[in-house]
Amino acid sequence: MNRIRKGDQVIIIAGADKGKKGEVVRVAGDKVIVQNINIIKRHTKPNPQANVAGGIVEREAPIHISNVMLFNQANGKGERVGFKVLENGRKVRVFRSSGEAIDA
């Protein structure tokens, strides 16, 4: 079970975009892609067969999962994430500081 999942609100804790918040678009192994964060310019050649126009395309680049932290709406800060097994045997993510379940 991953600590960070698609759709989570995260805050960037390291790098050029430090302090920015965004939603996780995709998780790929130990990297995450966050919406409108870590924007790069990609110089693309036109490809008429794939119907791709050439030019400079801006898109999100992956960020290592260690450089993002789950954002807690209650206190407005990034929080560490732990795991807890409920009485019914279901495993849930919890905030370490409060013990509050993230995905209830």
- Token pair belonging to 82: 């732990």
What range defines the domain where residue 17 resides?
8-73
What's the confidence (pLDDT) of residue 42?
A: 94
Quick check: 1 and 8 in contact, CB under 8 A?
no
**Over the stretch 11-44, which tens digit does the pLDDT of each residue have?**
999 999 999 999 999 999 999 999 999 999 999 9
Percent of the chain residues past pLDDT 90, beyond the cut: 88
- Token pair belonging to 50: 């794939």
**Is the residue at 41 inside a domain?**
yes
What's the confidence (pLDDT) of residue 104?
A: 58
**Is the residue at 40 inside a domain?**
yes
**Is the residue at 39 inside a domain?**
yes
Number of structural domains found in the chain: 1
Please provide the distance, in angstroms rounded to a whole number, between the alpha carbons at the two ends of the chain. Answer: 15
pLDDT confidence band for 94 (50 / 70 / 90) = very high
Say how many C-beta atoms besides its own lie within 10 A of residue 82's C-beta: 14
What's the confidence (pLDDT) of residue 2?
A: 87
Quick check: 24 and 8 in contact, CB under 8 A?
yes
**Domain CATH code at residue 18:** 2.30.30.30
Whole-number Å distance between alpha carbons of 68 and 4: 9
Predicted TM-score (pTM) of the model is 0.84
Q: What type of residue is 45?
A: K
